[in-house]
Structure 1
Amino acid sequence: MITEHDERTVLNAVPDRLLIGGEWVEASGGRTVEVMDPATGEVIRTIADASVADGVRALNHAVAAQQSWGSTPPRVRAEILRGAFDLLQERKHDLALLMTLEMGKPLAEAYGEVAYGGEFLRWFSEEAVRIDGRYGSTPEGTGRMIVTHRPVGPAYLITPWNFPLAMATRKIAPALAAGCTMVVKPATLTPLTTLALADILVTVGVPAGVLNVITTTDTIELSDALISDPRLRKVSFTGSTPVGVTLLKQAADNVLRTSMELGGNAPFIVFDDADLELAVDAAMTAKFRNIGQACTAANRFIVQQGIADRFADAITERVSALNVGRGTEPGVDIGPLIDDRVVRNSSRLVDDAVSHGAVLRAGGDPIDGPGTFFQPTVVDRVGDGMLLATEEIFAPIVGIRRFVDEDDAVRIANDTPYGLVGYVFTSDSNRAHRMIDLIDTGMMGLNVGVVSNAAAPFGGVKQSGMGREGGHEGIHEYLETKYTLMPAPYSR
């Protein structure tokens, strides 16, 4: 049982200042910003609110530390990351509770994020010592080619509010492993977990200036200043597509390396031959993980006609049984949405669908009282043109539409500018392989409802972004490739 004393103890342990040059410092002019608990609407912590000048000062330290950190032996960088993984395990209870308090997800899911986020520290501790190159003869035999990799340089890492630990480790860990220094800007809605992570990294020996963390309400102005600075060499952003497009335009002026993990509109395709029980179990996970507030969340449930009624009945029964409440309470399945804007948008999406002929099977309304809660919802017979079919939902809303055959399913699934992840359920292995080729996404789950893994490349196509995080590919987002030619070593 989580007590008020437990909550206050965890919150008070979080640094409330900016991490700049290895020191925890106040923001210029003593500016502060309040962090709210979305389940209660109450202020849970007041922290530093950085100015543009603070951001530039953080970049100054990152630039000053780059040469030393970039030349630090890979084994040393690896041991620091491994130490961070170990200390994170020791503090997992505090980190999980902290995430639930500032973001709202149920405590059990917060523990899952601690485990997932920690794996990026462990994975990239192992990748740090495996940055490879190659040596070989030119085709003509007249010279020898040497291909090496070196750090990109100072990076600006912008993380979202919905996975405050995992999105931070997914960017910080490969940057540290590759030898890059950085300025990290967590979301203003959920900055506390990132500050707690920074405290872990400082404790295990990340040198001063290598990691700088800036919390700010002047997001646009601070980002403009850093991205326009010619000393910055890399931008990594996770968030909405419109913001990502703006950052890409800004990054073009200095030809910065960019990684963009943007919006999603994931299809969840269920064929007639699918294992219904498996598909429903996976649908619950793919939709309601993180209260539906995930770019990988199943957004469009595309179900073949022969199984659609049974699928809709089964998932409606499951959704109607979900428990809504504060994430610290026992037995809670669905916590609050992050703020009032998301609640209002959820109502807008449901109302639009029903007004255009969709059938509301469960939920559909905000929940009165403190906090920003919305009923777990099922909307059946969603059709073309409805907002539930075109917009990223980011809420606990299942929208079901029907399809006739495989070609129809592929058409509906690909009818979106996004392409992050797709889910396909079928017992036909040939069809499964066709779906891998035909569905326009950067990731796919075949008969599974969760695809994320630190050892796998995470990322999308089309307007869902560019670059990959995690896997062997993830560290190369922070490395430049250098080619050297030398004469062939002829014998005398």
Structure 2
Amino acid sequence: METIDRDGVPGEEKTFDVFNPATGEIVDTLTLDSLESIEEKIMALHKGFQTWSKTSAEERSGLLYKWYEKIMDHQHELAKLITLENGKPYSEALGEVAYAAKYLQWYSEEAKRIYGRTIPASSTKKRIVITRKPIGVVAAITPWNFPAAMITRKVGPALAAGCTFIVKPAPETPLTAFEMFRLGYEAGIPKDVMCCVLAEGKVVGELFTASPLIRKITFTGSTAVGKQLLKNSASTVKHTSMELGGHAPLIIDKDANLDLAVQQTLVSKFRNAGQTCICANRLIVHQSIAERFVEKLVQAASTLKVGNGMEDGIAIGPIINKQGYEKIIGQLEDACSRGAVVALGGSHHGDDEAGTYFVWPTILTNVDESMRIMHEETFGPIAPVITFTEIEDAVRLANDTPYGLAAYFFTENMKRGIYLSEHLKYGIIGWNDGGPSTVQAPFGGMKESGMGREGGIEGIEPYLETKYVSINIAD
């Protein structure tokens, strides 16, 4: 594959390779940006903001929509790129491209709906006018598991609001970001309005948070890194949005539609080999139907093929890297040492020389709360099943975590469903739905899963400042 032109200022000659996690082959070799080049880009975005923030909503809307069309015109090429550098099956990658593009489409419309208002004054000689203004230069740091969608749901509302935007994509998956931005430039978005940079995470994080020109940090990633970014952002009182870790429970109640529950559990648990922030990490199943549910889930999951995502019929691709693989295997071994029973799978294969790591879909029973997998995010295709008898116990198990991103439950009983939806402390809840994410709804978590929302009408708010003008019209 040819090296993608990043249209950037030449940096120091420090290069790194982007690998295909399914084969270990080098997909591309890229050059890191120097600190000087990143600072120059931030300055260019600061200057570009003076113009972009004054463009009409109609113009910004039109450019975002053209970008959306460009991405959809090149969806197959982008999906291939995602699979090559991320490893997820091609069909999933194609779905991600469409999902990512929809954020640009949605915010191309929201750009025209940034409304102000008037407020009745306490005096007949005054008028109060409220306006919304773009916040300034926005810096984003995005993860590898959704290399397209995690960027567009940040850059879409940022540009729609009138902000300029810089992003550091994950080093595992930078090619998708650069190709998407190339298409954005083709659509007519100026290069002093948005750009990508490549640098070590700690280095660029410190640079972004220290820069007085950057007014907002938006981050998707681990809670530990998010806390550090929040701490560092305090020195310049930046606005922040954080989409952090998760440890999603999935509750199967006694009156659930088991066939639906199994099908949706597969969607939630095994998509992207379990490497998603909202995937089901803990299956909490009513004791009276646990045996039947596990039998059905084992039967369904046993059909999932593991391998190279570019091959037909593959449902589960590789684990992204050795660190992720070792965490998964460590949790699996810990659970088994404490009495967990492997109902399906348990197989895994890591090749350090090739740099490839695979874990087969695994279902564990006889799970208890002493096991690490019940308290740590797995980011892999391991599904631990723990049982409950009382609905209050299910809620207690589900909420027994510092995280509060996504939760799922399955019940046909309206009263019990309302009880669960009102007592689960999570920002996103799927009721009989294992795939709740959609561009028109606010995505985000409670507790240590972050702050702020992305998507929906709420998603543009973090990129806007509120200004009010009090006008005295007295003679």
- Counterpart position of 1:4: none
- Following TM superposition, by how much is the alpha carbon of 1:144 offset from its aligned partner in structure 2, in angstroms? 2.7
Matched residues in 2 for 1:297 and 1:241: separation? 16
Q: Which SS does the other structure have where 1:416 is aligned?
A: coil
- Counterpart position of 1:226: 208
Is residue 15 from structure 1 mapped to residue 7 from structure 2 by the alignment?
A: no
Asked if the contact 1:302/1:401 (under 8 Å) is kept, the reply is yes
Q: Which of 225, 228, 252 is 2:234 aligned to?
A: 252
- Counterpart position of 1:171: 154
Matched residues in 1 for 2:370 and 2:243: separation? 26
Asked if the contact 1:105/1:334 (under 8 Å) is kept, the reply is yes
C-alpha RMSD of matched pairs (Å): 1.4
Q: Which SS does the other structure have where 1:373 is aligned?
A: strand
Is residue 194 from structure 1 mapped to residue 177 from structure 2 by the alignment?
A: yes
With normalisation by structure 2, the TM-score equals 0.97
Length, aligned pairs only: 472
Q: What is the letter of the counterpart of residue 288 of structure 2?
A: G
1:343-388 CA deviation, whole Å, 9 max, x = no partner?
Answer: 1111101110111111111122322555211111111122112111
Matched residues in 2 for 1:139 and 1:315: separation? 64
Matched residues in 1 for 2:347 and 2:21: separation? 17
Matched residues in 2 for 1:140 and 1:388: separation? 62
Structure 2 vs 1, CA of residues 398 and 139 (structure 1 numbering), >3 Å: closer, same or farther? farther
Matched residues in 1 for 2:126 and 2:397: separation? 53
- Counterpart position of 2:43: 60
- Unmatched segments (≥5 aa) in structure 1: 1-10, 18-23
With normalisation by structure 1, the TM-score equals 0.94
Q: What is the letter of the counterpart of residue 124 of structure 1?
A: Y
- Counterpart position of 1:420: 405
Is residue 474 from structure 1 mapped to residue 459 from structure 2 by the alignment?
A: yes
Matched residues in 1 for 2:270 and 2:72: separation? 26
- Counterpart position of 1:287: 269
Q: Which SS does the other structure have where 2:315 is aligned?
A: coil
Matched residues in 1 for 2:361 and 2:37: separation? 42
- Following TM superposition, by how much is the alpha carbon of 1:136 offset from its aligned partner in structure 2, in angstroms? 2.4
1:313-337 CA deviation, whole Å, 9 max, x = no partner?
Answer: 1111222221011000000011001
- Counterpart position of 2:129: 146
Asked if the contact 1:343/1:366 (under 8 Å) is kept, the reply is no
Matched residues in 2 for 1:308 and 1:26: separation? 58
Q: Which of 272, 289, 297 is 1:307 aligned to?
A: 289
1:242-286 CA deviation, whole Å, 9 max, x = no partner?
Answer: 000000000111110000000000010110000000000000000
Asked if the contact 2:319/2:358 (under 8 Å) is kept, the reply is yes
Q: What is the letter of the counterpart of residue 211 of structure 1?
A: M
Asked if the contact 2:133/2:465 (under 8 Å) is kept, the reply is yes
Matched residues in 1 for 2:50 and 2:208: separation? 19
Asked if the contact 1:422/1:445 (under 8 Å) is kept, the reply is yes
Q: Which of 82, 95, 108 is 1:125 aligned to?
A: 108
- Counterpart position of 2:99: 116
1:66-99 CA deviation, whole Å, 9 max, x = no partner?
Answer: 1100001010000000001111111001000110
Q: Which SS does the other structure have where 1:391 is aligned?
A: coil
Within 5 A, what are the aligned runs for 1:43-54? Answer: 43-54=26-37
- Counterpart position of 2:316: 334
- Following TM superposition, by how much is the alpha carbon of 1:158 offset from its aligned partner in structure 2, in angstroms? 0.7
Q: What is the letter of the counterpart of residue 327 of structure 1?
A: G
Q: What is the letter of the counterpart of residue 114 of structure 2?
A: I
1:110-140 CA deviation, whole Å, 9 max, x = no partner?
Answer: 0110111010000000000110111120356
Asked if the contact 1:15/1:199 (under 8 Å) is kept, the reply is no
Percent identity of equivalent pairs:
42
- Unmatched segments (≥5 aa) in structure 2: none
Asked if the contact 2:12/2:32 (under 8 Å) is kept, the reply is no
Within 5 A, what are the aligned runs for 1:70-469? Answer: 70-138=53-121, 143-216=126-199, 218-367=200-349, 370=354, 371-469=356-454
Asked if the contact 2:126/2:470 (under 8 Å) is kept, the reply is yes
Matched residues in 1 for 2:126 and 2:378: separation? 56
Matched residues in 1 for 2:283 and 2:398: separation? 9
Matched residues in 2 for 1:297 and 1:192: separation? 25
Q: What is the letter of the counterpart of residue 197 of structure 1?
A: M
Q: Which SS does the other structure have where 1:382 is aligned?
A: coil
Asked if the contact 1:16/1:47 (under 8 Å) is kept, the reply is no
Q: What is the letter of the counterpart of residue 87 of structure 2?
A: G
Asked if the contact 2:253/2:285 (under 8 Å) is kept, the reply is yes
Asked if the contact 1:104/1:338 (under 8 Å) is kept, the reply is yes
1:200-244 CA deviation, whole Å, 9 max, x = no partner?
Answer: 11111111311021012x221122122111121000000000000
Q: What is the letter of the counterpart of residue 73 of structure 2?
A: E
Q: What is the letter of the counterpart of residue 385 of structure 1?
A: S
- Following TM superposition, by how much is the alpha carbon of 1:141 offset from its aligned partner in structure 2, in angstroms? 5.5
- Counterpart position of 1:7: none
